A and B are shown apart, each in its own frame.
Chain A
Amino acid sequence: MELDFSRQLHFFWALLPEIILCTFGMVVLVAGVSGKYKDADKAPSGDPSFGTTADLGWLSLIGVLIAAGANGWLYGVKEVGQDSMIALDHFRLFANWIFLLAAALTILISFAYVYRQRLQAGEFFALILFATAGAMFMAGARDLIVIFLGLEVMSIAVYALTAFNRRDRKSAEAGLKYFLLGAFATGFFLYGIALTYGATGSTNVAVIATSVSSGAATAGLLTIAIALLVIGFSFKVSAVPFHMWTPDVYEGAPAPVTAFMSATVKAAAFIAFARVFLVAFNDSYTTWFPILWWLAAITMVSANLIALVQTNVKRMLAYSSIAHGGYLLLALTAANPTATAGMLFYLLVYTLMNIGAFAIVISVAHQAEERQYIDDYTGFGWTNPALGVFLTIFLLSLAGFPGTGGFMGKIYLLQGAAESELWWLMVILVLTTVASYWYYLRVAWLMWMKNPTSDGQHDLVITPFPMRLALVVCVGLIVYTGIFPGAALEFARASVQGLGAFGGGIVGLAP
């Protein structure tokens, strides 16, 4: 099928996955306040995996699967004519796979949590779907305004999700913090869009690229616009020093939301970041290269250092996610096809290992927010061997141990950086990875190298069927991408083709 965007109807086809998700979101939302689901949050009944509230989860999952089908269908669709505001390239479709995977995994690990915390299941799952749709809009946007729309759709849904557990003060506090700081950062982002429009006369990524490369853009204005957009994106990818919200929000938000946020929000921001900077501002590479270089360096170093002294697992994983953002910034700084493909690959693996790790955190926390300290993992491996082995694999992958997808991801990032000759950033990445081994393995160490501190310490750890399903998927794919990474990487490489000119082939710059 060919899509001609001069016909309005064709936008419908181009946005089919997003539209399906939104439709399902609304259906779930309405279902959640009607009939037998209405009072489910007051007195939960039935089985957490297949009971009342769970119906809505499974319905959302069906929505995600249908959207995935639509996403697959889009591979057969071609766009003709001018660059429209919706991209139909494989870069977007690959990103959509990541978001849909993250959404599916998040839904699967939320069942028991929603049930036990007596959350409003309809609203919870609907917000997950809306946030995912927002992320997909960001990935598919070829226009700064559409990116902004997607960003806000996603962010507002995530703000609400963060504050979702109204019985938990920490959740409310985290939501408010996130919202206020997010609004603050959005201001910079919007201002950046406005200045870009002022400098180039367009908000379309392709038109901006032409304007920048032909020298028609107003140079001074453009520089400030680029700086402001970097700030806006840096907030969303939580690069240091724009990371302040991350530890608090990750700690306070309901754990499944934290898992979702750490994967989807970060991935969506990086995808849009890449499209805007590698396509629209490609010819200003020398302008934004030093900023990203320093952001990457500072983020990698400080996040890993601070993670060393954390005692709360959610906070530790928050700093870990900031550190991973630093590694991904290295890929953006390198700005070449290898690094960008490496970024896609890394985002995929990161989604798997991070959601997997959070799933086990949720289990250990008794499907609540109870046992979140690293000491609570003492002897966990011996009381719950399967979960212990899984968490060990996730931690090793996060640390980048050979044989896991995390290792391959780091190798590809390093390879991309080597092509652009970013030697210092590479050394920083490897050195900070050394440090990261310390805090990841500390948990593994406690799990396997100590006996439980008290009898029955982990008695309340339950993993219902959906969560087990998610864990098996995560572990399977992490080991698969670690041992046979070829297919996924080839896919990622094919997906970045035709994205842009990639930094104009400039290598060996110093910040």
Chain B
Amino acid sequence: MYASLAAVLFQVGEAASAGGQEAAESGAHFEPFLPGLIVLLPLLGFVLNGVLALRHATRSAEAVRAGGELDLDEGGRPLTHTLPSLIGPGVLLLAFVITSVNFARMLGAHLEEPVVVTYWTWMATGTFSVDAALQLDQLSMVMMMIVTGVGFLIHVFSVGYMKDDPGYPRYFAYLNLFIFFMLVLVMGASYPLMFVGWEGVGLCSYLLIGFWFSDREKSDAGKKAFIVNRIGDLGFLVAMFYLFTTFGTLDFVPIFAGAEEAFAYGGALVTTITLFFFLGAAGKSAQMPLYVWLPDAMAGPTPVSALIHAATMVTAGVYLVARSSVLFALAPVASATVAGVGVLTALFAATIALKQNDIKKVLAYSTVSQLGYMFVGVGVGAYSAGIFHLMTHAFFKALLFLGAGAVIHSMHVAYHSTHSHEDGQDMRNMGGLRKHMPITCATMWIATLAIAGIWPFAGFFSKDEIIWQTAAFGGAANAPYPALYTVFWLIALAAAMLTAFYMTRMMVMTFHGENRTGDQEEKALHEAPAVMWAPLAVLAVLAVVGGWVNVSEHLRDSILGLGPLTSGWLHEWLHPITEQAQLIQDLNLGVLAESAPIVGGGEVVWAVLSGAAAIAVVLVSFRYVGGQKIVPAAEDVEPIGFAKVLYNKWYVDELYDRIIVQPILALSRFCWNVIDVGIIDGIVNGVGFAARGVGFVVSMFQTGTLNTYAFILTVGVLIILGVSIF
């Protein structure tokens, strides 16, 4: 909505200022409008909802203690439902409005330097200090619009989706807290502040994945997400300390200004720093080999998957790389790693998605795969293309998840009506839902066409730009490893075709063919209420027009463009951010290629080809999957052969368990047994207390406890003495 609005605004502005360029440059000055409030509003929402949640919990505990049954509706309804429903989405709406005001103001101004709003000195040690400061520039603005805008829509959807959940106020408290940290992440003016947000969103993700904590599997999924993310955070921290020792500061502005002076192009230090940053990004954005937590994270409520595990948090890694574009541009090896990991993840996750039957699992692997594309974009120096795909993906993937949420909601009601224990998320139990849920079906088809890369939907423009930039980068005059990038390009093309296939498969299994839910259950299937389908509709519009804000000139001039409706706005908008990285790249790599490797052909040709191929794949797979006989989950048989490998996700979880988790646990137990309980029994619980006085002492020595302690102490003494003397 606002993206296209922005495009229109931009064009109007362009027309208006065609003659008054100078006036705009001298006169328009960007004045931030209450930026602190954007961050504080969600925090306020968290506090208010948190108080309501705690009040609700204590009251229900009292009710249970008093012997009564906990009745959600009795007396508490206005406080446990109406108020959170107003506060939760309300603060987001306000934050979105304030962000939009800032956005409009920034559009009016020609901002060359980021605006940093400082509040207080957060940490200071001697010469080094970090301020609690927010940075407003074109990049943070795009992210803020996505976080508050899409966030608001998902909050609204949640009002309907979580309606009957006993933890309703708690849910909104967590969701608001998440938005707070996410905004700190994208608005922080320094790496430490970004890290605060980075950790915070991880914590909220952990809380929300395990939201339905009754279930052990779900709480384990939360822990897994947390631990894997911490491994990534290690990379972030180490990179930060390297930067600190190099620059003596961790603020974005001075670091990027001094980067070219401090680092040699392709030097070891900058490569190390960026690789560590990428480790952090890979953890947060679920790239190989740290992607394993994201599919498990689907245990959380579906709107959470839409917000955190599709639209916002998981894209933080892409944001980190785009934010540090200057550093990555100086480190071609690290950039190649980013692109390589990205493209492999895109392919690998897409193959797994081919054989999943859980609708959310398909979308989860699809997200991992699409995040891979974003990393390819930022890895080949096309930072604005990466952010562009981040934006369009936020639209269509949020839409897909919310649509899946509507389907699951409907399926649960259906199974609940007959007390069946069938899996409401398994697509083998769906089929033919189109009749019952027409709006959900239509909007999800729009998103599917968008993600499959079909013209003129959003994903066509963003994914195509990334794929094309990969080819162009590899063909640059002084490209470091041209052959490698050719491989990347081919893999990216192949993964795009897989995307079109598994998405069509998902749609067909869910919405088309015969219904497999069960005769009784089918009657209970229903379309989602307005509070749920309205956000779907808004996102569907965005999934169509969201791609029109960044159409390259080549495409616009050709038949593919939508004429006056499209523009290259986003690229221009992000220019002040990517300019420095672009200059470094131009200087060292020379001109990018105009035609694709091996077979030739320009950008327009390949756009037409890949678009046509995607259409073909969608049509063929629609017929192919539609023609297959699908049986309900209960009657289905285990797949065999290669399909079984894909079905079991290449056995990566099992592998990690075997080579990482089990050894650590074994080591921990070993340490405990050897140092603690094996030879000694800790507190002996009065066993040695048989006699008092001297007898007690003797008996303690006899149990061996003290002897052993003293013995180990002596061994330590001998080692230290030995080491220091020799």
Contacts and interface: CB of A to CB of B under 8 A. Distances in A.
Interface of A: 169-170, 172-174, 176-177, 180-181, 184-185, 188, 220, 223-224, 226-228, 230-231, 234-235, 240-242, 244-245, 247-248, 251-252, 287-288, 290-291, 294, 302, 305-306, 308-309, 315, 338, 341, 382-383, 385, 389, 401-403, 408, 411-412, 414-415, 418, 426-427, 430-431, 434, 437-438, 441, 445, 448-452, 455-456, 459, 483-486, 489-490, 493
A403 B196 contact: yes
A282 B132 CA distance: 37
Contacts of B122: 483-486
Nearest to B719: A241
A173 B696 CA distance: 9
B178 interface: no
A456 B64 CA distance: 9
B531 interface: no
Interface of B: 54, 57-58, 61, 64-65, 120-126, 128-129, 132, 192, 195-196, 199-200, 203, 206-207, 210, 213-214, 219, 222-223, 226-227, 230-231, 233-234, 237-238, 241, 244-245, 667-669, 671-672, 675-676, 680, 682-686, 688-689, 696-697, 700, 705-706, 708-710, 712-713, 715-717, 720-721, 723-725
Q: Which 3 A-B pairs have the closest CB atoms?
A: A449-B213, A385-B54, A241-B716
Given A177-B706, A247-B676, A338-B126, A309 B669 contact: yes
Contact of B686 (A170, A401, A402): A170
Given A291-B723, A306-B672, A402-B199, A244 B712 contact: yes
Given A227-B723, A486-B124, 15 more contacts: A170-B683, A173-B683, A180-B697, A231-B716, A235-B713, A242-B713, A251-B683, A302-B671, A305-B671, A309-B668, A338-B125, A341-B125, A385-B54, A437-B226, A438-B227
Given A169-B686, A231-B717, A412-B125, A177 B705 contact: yes
B720 A227 contact: yes
15 contacts: A177-B700, A181-B709, A181-B713, A241-B675, A242-B716, A288-B724, A383-B61, A389-B54, A403-B196, A415-B125, A434-B234, A438-B227, A445-B223, A486-B123, A489-B125
A345 B672 CA distance: 31
A173 B688 contact: yes
Contact of A177 (B65, B196, B709, B712): B709
B724 A226 contact: yes
Contacts of B132: 483
B187 to A, nearest CB: 15
Contacts of B723: 227, 290-291, 294
Nearest to A241: B716
A181 B706 contact: yes
Contact of B683 (A174, A309, A341, A382): A174
Nearest to A379: B61
Contact of B667 (A235, A305, A486): A305
Nearest to B692: A172
A401 B54 CA distance: 23
B311 to A, nearest CB: 23
B125 A176 contact: no
A408 B683 contact: no
A493 B671 contact: no
Contacts of B689: 169, 172-173
Contact of B721 (A224, A294, A383, A426): A224
B715 A241 contact: yes
A230 B722 CA distance: 13
A437 B238 contact: no
Nearest to A338: B125
Contacts of B245: 418
A242 B708 CA distance: 12
Nearest to A301: B671
A485 B64 CA distance: 43
A180 B707 CA distance: 11
Contact of B58 (A309, A383, A483): A383
A224 B724 contact: yes
A414 B195 CA distance: 15
Nearest to A437: B230
A166 B680 CA distance: 24
A180 B57 CA distance: 49
A455 B65 contact: yes
A218 B265 CA distance: 52
Contacts of B237: 414, 430
A291 B125 contact: no
Nearest to B669: A309
A455 B669 CA distance: 34
A241 B672 CA distance: 13
Contact of A181 (B214, B671, B710): B710
Contacts of B716: 231, 234, 241-242
A85 to B, nearest CB: 27
A402 B200 contact: yes
B64 A455 contact: yes
Nearest to A227: B724
Given A173-B686, A185-B713, A489-B124, A180 B219 contact: no
A499 to B, nearest CB: 15
Contacts of A184: 710, 713
B668 A306 contact: yes
B720 A291 contact: yes
B199 A244 contact: no
A173 to B, nearest CB: 6
Contacts of A306: 668, 671-672, 675-676
Contacts of A294: 723
A244 B683 contact: no
Q: Which of B58, B64, B206, B706 has the most CB of A within 10 A?
A: B706
A419 B302 CA distance: 46
Nearest to B56: A382
B414 to A, nearest CB: 28
Nearest to B688: A173
Contacts of B227: 434, 437-438
A401 B199 contact: yes
A293 B686 CA distance: 38
Contact of B128 (A401, A415, A451): A415
B620 to A, nearest CB: 46
Nearest to A298: B716
A449 B219 contact: yes
Contact of A382 (B57, B210, B223): B57
B479 to A, nearest CB: 34
Contacts of B684: 173
A188 B669 CA distance: 31
Contacts of B58: 382-383, 385
Contact of A252 (B234, B683, B713): B683
Given A231-B720, A291-B720, A291-B724, A418 B241 contact: yes
A437 B192 CA distance: 19
A418 to B, nearest CB: 5
B244 A223 contact: no
B210 A445 contact: yes
Nearest to A232: B717
Contact of A484 (B120, B195, B234, B712): B120
Contacts of B721: 224, 227-228
A230 B682 contact: no
Contacts of A341: 125
A426 B54 CA distance: 39
A490 B685 contact: no
Contacts of B685: 169-170
A180 B706 contact: yes
Contact of A434 (B125, B230, B688): B230
Contact of A430 (B65, B238, B669, B696): B238
A431 B723 CA distance: 27
A486 B195 contact: no
A164 B38 CA distance: 54
Interface centre among A403, A411, A452, A489 (most CB of B within 10 A): A411
Given A248-B683, A401-B203, A411 B219 contact: no
B205 to A, nearest CB: 13
